[in-house]
């Protein structure tokens, strides 16, 4: 994959993370598993998603799981370290 880069050669994290998901399942994962759910660029890999979330939201990511939905969108489940609360990030994003 060619990395999403700007004219300076750095990765553009705004292009990797497209939007947060605010479904009932996503909100349940925030509360129970300390996990945020995002729609991400289809070309992005797990390392790029992890780096983008850590940089944009100033958190530590434990794991990233991805899937391609039926609609063709790539969904990423991002689990945060225990010292960070997914509910606080979700509130900043307007999900809660």
For position 51, which CATH number holds? 3.30.70.330
Q: Which domain holds residue 87?
A: 18-93
pTM: 0.87
Helix (H, G, I), strand (E, B) or coil at 22: coil
- Assigned token pair, 78: 């991002």
pLDDT of residue 6: 52
For residue 4, tell me if it sits in a domain.
no
More confident residue, 88 or 12: 88
**Residue 27 and residue 42: Cα distance in Å, rounded?**
23
- Is residue 7, in this structure, part of any structural domain at all? no
Q: What is the pLDDT of residue 13?
A: 87
pLDDT at site 8: 52
Whether the CB-CB separation of 63 and 95 falls below 8 Å is answered with no
Question: Which pLDDT does position 10 carry in this prediction?
Answer: 57
DSSP 5: B
Binned at pLDDT 50, 70 and 90, residue 41 comes out as very high
């Amino acid at each position: 994959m060619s990395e999403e880069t700007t004219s300076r050669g750095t990765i553009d994290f705004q292009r990797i993370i497209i939007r947060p998901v605010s479904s009932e399942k996503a909100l349940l994962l925030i509360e129970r598993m300390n996990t945020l759910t995002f729609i991400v660029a289809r070309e992005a890999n797990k390392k790029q998603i992890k780096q983008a979330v850590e940089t944009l939201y100033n958190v530590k990511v434990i794991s990233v799981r991805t899937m391609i939905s039926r609609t063709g969108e790539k969904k990423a489940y991002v689990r945060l370290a225990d010292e960070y609360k997914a509910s606080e990030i979700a509130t900043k994003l307007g999900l809660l």
